Amino acid sequence: MQLMTPMEFFGFEPGSDRTLADWQQMLAYFEHLDLASDRVKLTEMGKSTEGKPFINLIISSEYNMKHLETHRQNQARLADPRGLSDEDAKELIRIGKTIVMISCGIHSTEIAGPEYSMSLAYSLAAATMPNAEQILDNVILVLVPSLNPDGHQMITDWYRLNLDTPYEGGVMPWLYQKYVGHDNNRDWYSFTQVENRLTIEKIHNEWHPQIIYDMHQMGTTAARFFIPPYVDPIEPNVDPIIQQEIIWIGSAMAQELTAQDKKGVLIHAIYDAWNPARAFQHTHGGIRILTEAASCKIATPVTVKFEELSTGIGYDGKVRAWNFPEPWTGGEWHLSDIIEYERLATEALLTHAARNRETWLRNFLQIGRKAVNRQGSPFAFIIPAGQRATDSVYRLLRIFHIGQVELYTADRAFTLNSKTYAAGSFVIPSAQPYFAFAKCLLEIQEYPDIREYPGGPPQRPYDVTAFTQGLLMGIETVTVTEPLDVQLTRLTDVTPKSAVSPRTDASCYIVDPKLNDGFAFVNDLLQNGFRVERLTKTIETKEVVLPAGLWVVPTQVGLTKFMLAWAEKGLVITPWENGLPTCSLQPVRFGLYKSWTGEMDEGWLRYVLEQFHFDFESPSNEIIQAGNLIEKYDALILPNMMVKRIQEGLPESMVPAPYFGGLGEVGAAALKEFVNDGGVLIAIDHAVDYAIETLDLPAKNLLAKLPPKDFFIPGSLLRVCVNNEHPLTWGAEKEEPIWFQRSGALSIDEGTVLAHYPSSNPLLSGWMLDPQAQLNGRSALCEIPMGKGRIVCFAFNPIYRAQAQNTYKLIFNAILSAGIK
Ligand SMILES: [Zn+2]
C-alpha cells in the first residue's frame, strides 16, 4: 500500500487556517499508517471516558519493530536494575534504544499537537524528517496523538459549528473532558480518569520512557514558545540527574528553534516542577518536557501587537534576556506557526534522544540504581492495619500499585518506637525503583517561601503546594526512621479483602459512618426502597463506642442480597441488636448546579457523586430561574465557582444563545424562595461568597479582600476543629485536615459553626502565609437557617480534584441531611 501524506489522505494540510481533522479522521489516518508502514504499529489502549478508541502508535525502524518485545524487556531490566551485573548492564546499554513518549492534546483546545501528530508520524514512517534514519535506529517512539480523544472531537465539532459566526474560535461552554476538563493533567498520581490510568498502565509501566514530551499551548500574548528548564521549586524527590537532563535537552531544543530563526523562544520561566500531579515521570526515571506555544483561536489566526506581549514569572515578552534571547516582534499568528515551532522542537528532541542514546540509557540505569540501593532514613513507610477508613487505605494502595510501588504486609505484629503495629500492616520499604513516588505522596510538603522580590508579595506557585495522601484520605501513615526488621510478604492484589459475611438473623446491621463506601451502600439501599436509619448520638460503653451517625439498617425482606454483595467488596457490616436511638432517612431529590461556564469543580463533584452512587440532576440556569424549586428538589448544590461566573455566566460576546448569562437576579430570587420554602442549599468554597452577597446571609468572609502579602494559601492542607455530633459532621473526628485553596473564613451572626480553625498554627502540609493569624478561630463549615430551610456553607473545598477523600463525607452528609425525618 502506498504511504500517503496527511495532505494526500485528507485533501488538506492539517494545521491550515480554519481547518481541523477530527478524531474520526485522525483514527482513519493512523490506521492507514499502520497498514502502509512497517515502521508504525497502532494499538488501542482501551476506550476513553465517552467510549472513543484511545490509541498510541509505536514508531521505529523496521528492524526495531521486529524486535519490540525484546527491547521492551531490556528496558524493564534497566528500569529495575536489582540483580543486574555490570556486564549485562553494559550490554543492555549497547543494544538498547532511547524510549521517547510524545503526548498531545490532553488540553483539547491546545489543538496544534494532535493536528501535528499526523505529519510527525508520517515524517518518521516515510523517513522524511531530518536525521530520520538515525532517529528510527536509535529511538523507539510511543506517540499518543491525543490524551483526550473525547475533547478533541468536542472541540473540532464546536469549532466547525461556529465557523463564519462571531463565535468562530471562541469558548466552548462546557468541559472538554466529561468530568474534569483542564484538570485532566492534575491527575497523574490519583489516576481517577480512565485516559490517565490507561496511559500509565499501557505505556509507562510497559515501556518506562526516559523522555516524555507533552505538548501544550498557553495564552495568545505570552512568549511564542516555552521550553524547560522549569523555575523553582523542584519537588525534592526528583532525582538531580532528571533535573540536569531537562536542562540538557531543553536547551538543545531552544537552541535549534533560535538557529532556525524562530523568535520568542523562552526557557526557565512560568512553570515550576513541584506538583507530581502534573509529572508522574519525574519519580519514574523519566523527564517531562512540557512545551507551551502561544495560542491562536483554535485554528483561526490572531494578530498580536508587540505592545500587547505580556510578562510572567521570569520574563517580559518585550525584553531580551539570558533565557529569552530574541523576543517576538508581533504580527499574525497561525495554527501553522504553532505546528512549525512544535515540529522543530520535536525534531530537535528526537535527534538529541538518538545521538545521545547511550547517555540517556546510562543515566536511566543510574537513576534506577540509586533508587534500589537507597540507604538511610526514611527506611520505609507503614500504613497500619486496622484503621477505620479501610476503604481509603485500599484506594491509596491502588495508587501505589498503579505507580509500580512494591507493597508488602507484615507477617506478624511488630513494635517500633514503642508503638505496636498489627500483623497485616502495609509496609513500603525504601530500596525499590519507585520509592520516590510513594515518598513524595506520603511525606509532609514544606513549600519554600518564594517572593516576587525580597520582602515583596509571595510568588504564586504554578499549581497547588500540598499532596500528602494520608491527610487527604484521612488515614494514618508512619515514616520509619530506623532500619526495620520485620518479616514481610509481597502484596500483589490490592482489592479489599471480603469482609466476614454478616450474620443474616440479627435485628439490624451497622456500618461505620467514617467510610465513604458506606454512603454508596446506603444510596443503593435508599434507591431500592429499603429503610435506613442513623444513630443520633454517640453511645459509649465499656466494650464499644458507637459513633453518632452510625448507619443502622433494620432487617428487611431482600436485604441479605445487598449486604452480602457489599461485604464481598470489603465493607464491614456488623450484625447488631436494635434499640438504638436513631433517625430515619428518606431518599433526597437534589440537583448540582451546572452553569454554561465549564466549571472543573462542578465536574469533579459530579464525578465523585457518581462514584458513590448518588442519584441527582444537573439543573442549569433556566431550570433554576423557572422557580418553584421545592417541588423538584430537597437540596441544591452550588459548586465551587467564582461569584461573577454564577451571577453572570459568560457574556453574549463570548458564547451564542442559549449559553450566555448566569443565574442573574431571577435565579437568585428562585434560590432564596427555595430555601425559604424548606430547601437545603449547599454552597461550596467561592459559592459561599455568592450566597453571602446574593441571599443576604448573616455571614462574612473575613478573607475576601485581603491582599496576598497579608494572606496567601494557594492549595494546602489545614487543620480544623470539628463539632462531630451533628448530622453534617457525623463520621468525622474531632480534628480533621481540610483542603484550603484561596478559600474563605467565615464569621456568622446566626446559625451553627461545625468546623473552625484552631488558635494555633493550622498548617499541616504545603504553604501558608498568615502573618496576622487571620484564620484563628474562624469558621470553615457552618449551617445557617433561613425561612423553613437552611444554607450549608463549606468555606473550603471538600472534594478537591477527587483527592480530599477524607472530607467527602461532609458533603455527602449535607446532601443526606435533607432526608432526615
Ligand atoms: Zn495545557
Q: From the CA of 543, how far away is ligand 1's center (Å)? A: 55
Ordered DSSP codes for 223-275: -SEEESPPEEEEPTTS-HHHHHHHHHHHHHHHHHHHHTT---EEES-S-EE--
Average pLDDT over residues 488-508: 88
Q: Could you give the CA distance from residue 64 to residue 41 in angstroms, rounded to a whole number?
A: 12
Interval between CA 106 and ligand 1 midpoint (Å)? 7
pLDDT above 80 (res 504) = no
Mean pLDDT across 96-105 = 98
Ligand 1 centre and the CA of 228: distance in Å? 14
Please tell me the distance between residue 202's alpha carbon and the centre of ligand 1 in angstroms: 22
Using one digit for the tens of pLDDT, what is the confidence trace for 175-202? Answer: 999 999 999 999 999 999 999 999 999 9
Residue 505 banded pLDDT, cuts 50, 70, 90: confident
Distance 463 CA to ligand 1 centre (A): 13
Q: What would the pLDDT profile of 19-29 be if each residue is shown by its tens digit?
A: 999 999 999 99
Tell how far the Cα of 109 is from the centroid of ligand 1, in angstroms.
8
The span from the CA of 71 to the CA of 209, in Å, is 12
Ligand 1 centroid – CA 610 distance (Å): 26
* Partners of 784 in the β-ladder: 791
Helices in 528-658 by DSSP H: which ranges? 559-568, 600-611, 621-625, 643-648
Backbone angles phi, psi at 216, to 5 degrees: -135, 175
Say what angle helices 390-402 and 516-527 make with each other, to 10 degrees: 110
811 grid coordinates: 458533603
User: To the nearest 10°, the Cα dihedral for 745, 749, 754, 759?
Assistant: 50
Given a cut of 90, whether residue 85 has pLDDT beyond it is yes
Average pLDDT over every residue of 463-480: 98
The pLDDT of residue 394 is above 80: yes
**pLDDT tens digits for 62-76?**
999 999 999 999 999
Residue-wise pLDDT tens digits, 318-341: 999 999 999 999 999 999 999 999
Mean pLDDT of 559-576: 93
In 372-418, the DSSP E strands lie at 380-383, 407-410, 414-416
Q: Do residues 357 and 97 lie in contact, with contact meaning Cβ atoms separated by under 8 Å?
A: yes
Question: In terms of Cα–Cα distance, which of 482, 562, 559 is closest to 521?
Answer: 562
Q: Report CA(107)–ligand 1 centroid distance (Å).
A: 5
Q: What region, left, alpha or beta, does residue 180 occupy, with left being phi > 0 and alpha being psi -120 to 50 degrees?
A: alpha
- Digit-coded pLDDT (tens) for 265-303: 999 999 999 999 999 999 999 999 999 999 999 999 999
d(CA 450, CA 457): 9
* Amino acid symbol at 157: D
Give ∠ CA 477-800-805 in degrees, rounded to 5: 40
Tens-place pLDDT, residues 652-692: 999 999 999 999 999 999 999 999 999 999 999 999 999 99
Note the pTM of the prediction, 2 decimals: 0.98
The count of C-alpha atoms lying within 13 angstroms of the C-alpha of 739, restricted to the half-sphere facing its C-beta, is: 28
Grid cell digits, residue 27: 483514527
Residue 270's pLDDT is 97
Average pLDDT for residues 599-624, to the nearest whole number?
98
Classify residue 87 as exposed, middle or buried by CB count within 10 Å of its CB (0-12, 13-18, 19+).
Answer: exposed
Distance 179 CA to ligand 1 centre (A): 17
C-alpha span between 412 and 420 (Å, rounded): 10
Mean pLDDT of the chain: 97
The number of residues in the chain equals 821
Q: Please give the grid coordinates belonging to residue 678.
A: 424548606
CA of 546 from ligand 1 middle (Å) equals 48
Is residue 1 predicted with pLDDT exceeding 90?
A: no
Work out whether strand 231-234 and strand 272-273 pair parallel, antiparallel, or are unpaired: parallel
Residue 614 pLDDT level (bands cut at 50, 70, 90): very high
- In the predicted model, is pLDDT for residue 168 greater than 90? yes
Q: What is the pLDDT of residues 739-785, one digit of tens each?
A: 999 999 999 999 999 999 999 999 999 999 999 999 999 999 999 99
Question: Which of these ranges, 44-58, 117-131, 449-463, has the smallest mean pLDDT?
Answer: 449-463
Each residue's pLDDT tens digit, 704-750: 999 999 999 999 999 999 999 999 999 999 999 999 999 999 999 99
pLDDT at 371 over 90: yes
Question: How many angstroms does the Cα of residue 215 sit away from the middle of ligand 1?
Answer: 7
Contact 104, 113 (CB under 8 A): yes
Instruction: Judge residue 310's burial from the number of C-beta atoms within 10 Å of its C-beta, 0-12 exposed, 13-18 middle, 19 or more buried.
Output: middle
22's enclosing H/E stretch is none
Q: To 10 degrees, what angle do helices 808-817 and 516-527 make? A: 30
Of the chain, the end-to-end C-alpha distance in Å amounts to: 71
CA of 675 to the centre of ligand 1 (A): 40
φ/ψ of residue 439, rounded to 5? -65, -45
Reduced to 3 states (helix: H, G, I; strand: E, B; else coil), residue 452 is coil
Cell numbers found for residue 764:
499541616
> How many A from CA of 15 to the centre of ligand 1?
18
- Average pLDDT for residues 394-412, to the nearest whole number? 98
If you measure from the C-alpha of residue 292 to the centroid of ligand 1, how many angstroms do you get, rounded to a whole number?
7
User: Which letter does DSSP use for residue 766 in this model?
Assistant: B
- Per-residue pLDDT, 362: 98
pLDDT grade, residue 643 (50/70/90)? very high
Q: How confident is the model at residue 500 (pLDDT cuts 50, 70, 90)?
A: confident
Read off φ and ψ for residue 105, nearest 5 degrees.
Answer: 70, 25
CA of 712 to the centre of ligand 1 (A): 25
CA dist 474 and 512 (Å) reads 14
How far CA 725 is from CA of 722, 728, 747, 754, in Å, comes to 9, 8, 21, 9
The dihedral built from the CA positions of residue 663, 667, 669 and 671, taken in this order, carries a sign that is negative
- Distance of CA 289 from the midpoint of ligand 1 (Å): 13
